[in-house]
Amino acid sequence: MHKNFDLNRLNVKAFAREKISLEGSQDLSQFARLLDLEAKLGPASQEELPISTQVSWAIQGELVPVSGGGEQIWLHLKAELHLPMQCQRCMGAVRVLVSSDQSFRFVADEATAEAEDEASEEDLLVLTPELNVWELIEDELIMSAPIVPKHDVCPTLVPMSAVDDAFEDALDARPNPFAALAQLKKKPN
């Protein structure tokens, strides 16, 4: 029988010892920092992309035996969502799949984590009495989000030049500083 685990204050060691797996979904509105990545879309774009967004997640605890000793505490995390963002090419709305699939090995202290980090393929976390799984999910999704979100193919034609006739006219009307230098050079002392 599974106990109810509070994902705001998860005892990772007990969770791993019992080899528990949990999964579910949580509304994006519960992740304030992740919500900051969401595009602030105008009314027309909001019609294109539904506002309701769910973060799907799954976690699994595991104790892995170590030769000649005890056991290592592991937590496997999968999370994903379709995040509404602004395409940096056409500036329109784009729904980007943001996903993370990470495994974390827990170590006793920060010094151990620093010492083993270079040689480890997995991510290392310091074992604390309580882990906020929601913050971990949010951190992983933020790190997985694209820096420059864009459509594979933009739905609207994207202008590939930035010609502004008024700017060009103003540039032509401005005196060339090198022409003034040439005039000074021609004058006799």
What pLDDT, in 10s, does the model give residues 75-123? 999 999 999 888 988 888 889 999 999 999 999 888 888 888 888 888 8
Residue 79's Cβ-side half-sphere holds a number of Cα atoms within 13 Å equal to 28
| Cα gap 135→82, rounded to integer Å | 18
Highest mean pLDDT among 5-14, 114-123, 152-161: 5-14
Evaluate whether 126 touches 110 at the Cβ level (below 8 Å): yes
CA distance 115 to 127: 15
When mean pLDDT is compared across 18-27, 125-134, 179-188, the lowest value belongs to 179-188
Radius of gyration, alpha carbons of the chain: 27
pLDDT at 39: 61
Sign of the alpha-carbon torsion through 170, 171, 173, 175:
positive
Specify whether the CB–CB gap between 100 and 77 falls below 8 A. Answer: yes
Instruction: Record the pTM.
Output: 0.75
Examine the pLDDT at 38 and tell me if it is beyond 90: no
Look at residue 82 in the predicted model and tell me its pLDDT. Answer: 92
